[in-house]
């Protein structure tokens, strides 16, 4: 048999051959990259939370913040569905094309996808601009005419952020694919930094406009930073359409299921905020404040769990070690409960004290503290179920059963609407928070049943 050296091997052979030490990531390098990304992500989350403290002191729970939150919900939904979902479809294909066909082919794929994304986001921005006078009254049915007018104005200010955020998102994903993790993780901090700075220098009565302008400026700065990093990595930034070849079709084929799930998942935020608009002034803002600390805690827990368990799940699934997976699930589930149950208890029993410590300054009143404290306590109930659910989601992904996730998202979306309508008349904004926690409980039960059934089936097949 003739030995083929690494330099003589075909691209396909290089891709399928186990990597030698020093080629791409070793296990230690993967852990180092995960630690770096995790640490920088936590730092960025900390900057965002600091911005929220300034928002609380400046805007409180007034009409300005209500209007900004409702103005941002549609641009955020568009960007998440188009650009955010596309990242998970693009990057595996981009890396495979780069390894098999070379950098030029990968560059053509990236340029083509970037072109299509910018056209889609630009077109949707223009369309949304035309539809704002008709859409916003439907979404903000409880707003006064003056508050509705402010919401529409802020929406127009935020429209440029749609294309800019999409650009920054795709460039950041490509930067991660080039193993330039630090800049991609730190660049998002530009948005809270510039929006907070804009609030601090805003003229009296113009804080909400300044906040929106600062947000757009931050997204522009973020895009500039990751674009600069990508340029230094040798990747061309100029969009160019190279045709819808097999690689582009592969990306689109993987994108559609992910986008469908993203529409439903992010649609729950739109539903909750639209419901809150009907509860009176400040309700949207209170709902947002009530979820700030919970989101920070969950982001740290989810990042730790996602980084730690996915490699193990993938290895055990590939080896067909279903008994090992069951043991791992029980062990990890026990650890999660050991951490999250005490944390949840602290957040519930000391909710008002935490809100008072974090947010009560400036225009944030004692009445706001009591209202937000009640909302935060009910949001905290979701913490064990979200983290346990993520454990199951990672296993479902490792077992290539992603359709189950789409089914679960559809069920959660419908249940969220039903529970909002049932609980909101009795509990107000607290009912929306309780609805969210109950939806995550139901999602955890659904995923548990699916995973248990799948593991039993795989075990019987291997017996």
What is the rounded distance in angstroms from the CA atom of residue 255 to the CA atom of residue 170? 13
pTM of the full structure = 0.76
Q: How far is CA 409 from the centre of its chain?
A: 15
> Is 56 within 8 Å of 362 (Cβ atoms)?
yes
pLDDT digits (tens, 9 = 90+) for 297-355: 888 777 666 655 655 666 666 667 677 778 878 887 888 888 889 999 999 999 999 99
According to DSSP H, which parts of 242-382 are helical? Answer: 246-277, 283-319, 322-349, 351-359, 366-380
What is the rounded distance in angstroms from the CA atom of residue 83 to the CA atom of residue 259? 9
pLDDT digits (tens, 9 = 90+) for 345-383: 999 999 999 999 888 877 788 888 999 999 999 999 999
In this model, does residue 174 exceed pLDDT 80?
yes
Token duo for residue 203? 């003229």
What is the rounded distance in angstroms from the CA atom of residue 357 to the CA atom of residue 419? 31
Per DSSP, the residues of 314-353 read HHHHHHT-HHHHHHHHHHHHHHHHHHHHHHHHHHHHTHHH
> Domains of the chain: which residue ranges?
50-259, 282-463
pLDDT digits (tens, 9 = 90+) for 106-125: 888 888 888 888 888 888 89
> Is 135 within 8 Å of 127 (Cβ atoms)?
no
Residue with tokens 């947002």: 288
> Is 180 within 8 Å of 227 (Cβ atoms)?
no
Q: Which residues contact 27 (CB under 8 A, 6 or more apart)?
A: none
pLDDT digits (tens, 9 = 90+) for 232-281: 888 878 778 877 777 777 777 767 666 766 776 677 888 888 888 888 88
In this model, does residue 222 exceed pLDDT 90?
yes
Percentage with pLDDT > 70 across the chain: 83
What is the rounded distance in angstroms from the CA atom of residue 167 to the CA atom of residue 121? 9
- For residue 20, what is the DSSP state? P
């Amino acid at each position: 048999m003739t030995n083929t050296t690494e330099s003589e091997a075909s691209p396909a052979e290089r891709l399928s051959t186990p990597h030698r030490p020093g080629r791409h990531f070793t296990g230690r390098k993967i852990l180092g990259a995960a630690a770096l990304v995790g640490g920088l992500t936590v730092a960025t989350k900390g900057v965002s939370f600091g911005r929220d403290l300034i928002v609380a002191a400046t805007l409180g729970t007034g009409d300005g913040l209500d209007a900004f939150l409702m103005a941002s919900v549609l641009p955020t939904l568009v960007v998440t569905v188009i650009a955010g979902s596309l990242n998970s479809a693009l990057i595996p294909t981009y890396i495979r094309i780069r390894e098999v066909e070379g950098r030029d082919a990968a560059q053509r794929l990236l340029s083509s996808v970037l072109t299509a994304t910018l056209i889609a986001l630009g077109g949707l921005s223009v369309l949304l601009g035309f539809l704002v006078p008709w859409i916003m009254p439907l979404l903000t049915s409880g707003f006064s005419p003056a508050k509705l007018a402010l919401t529409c104005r802020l929406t127009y200010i935020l429209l440029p952020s749609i294309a800019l955020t999409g650009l920054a998102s795709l460039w950041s994903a490509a930067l991660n694919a080039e193993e330039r993790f630090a800049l991609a993780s730190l660049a998002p901090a530009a948005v809270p930094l510039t929006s907070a700075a804009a609030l601090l220098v805003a003229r009296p009565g113009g804080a909400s406009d300044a906040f929106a302008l600062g947000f757009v400026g931050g997204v522009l700065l973020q895009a500039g930073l990751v674009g600069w990093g990508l340029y230094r990595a040798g990747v061309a930034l100029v969009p160019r359409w190279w045709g819808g070849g097999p690689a582009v079709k592969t990306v689109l084929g993987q994108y559609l299921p992910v986008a469908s799930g993203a529409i439903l998942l992010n649609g729950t935020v739109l539903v909750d905020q639209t419901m809150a608009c009907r509860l009176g002034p400040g309700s949207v803002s209170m709902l947002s404040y009530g979820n700030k600390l919970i989101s920070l805690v969950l982001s740290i827990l989810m990042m730790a769990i996602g980084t730690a368990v996915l490699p193990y799940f993938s290895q055990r699934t590939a080896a067909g070690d279903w008994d090992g997976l069951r043991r791992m699930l029980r062990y990890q589930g026990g650890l999660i409960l050991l951490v999250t149950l005490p944390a949840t208890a602290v957040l519930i029993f000391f909710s008002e004290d935490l809100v008072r410590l974090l947010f009560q300054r400036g225009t944030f009143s004692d009445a706001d503290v009591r209202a937000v404290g009640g909302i935060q306590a009910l949001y905290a109930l979701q913490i064990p179920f979200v983290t346990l659910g993520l454990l199951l989601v990672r296993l479902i992904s490792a077992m290539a059963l992603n359709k189950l996730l789409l089914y679960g998202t559809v069920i959660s979306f419908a249940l969220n609407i039903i529970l909002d309508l049932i609980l909101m008349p009795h509990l107000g904004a607290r009912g929306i928070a309780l609805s969210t926690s109950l939806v995550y409980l139901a999602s955890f039960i659904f995923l548990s049943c699916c995973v248990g059934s799948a593991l039993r089936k795989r075990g019987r097949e291997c017996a």
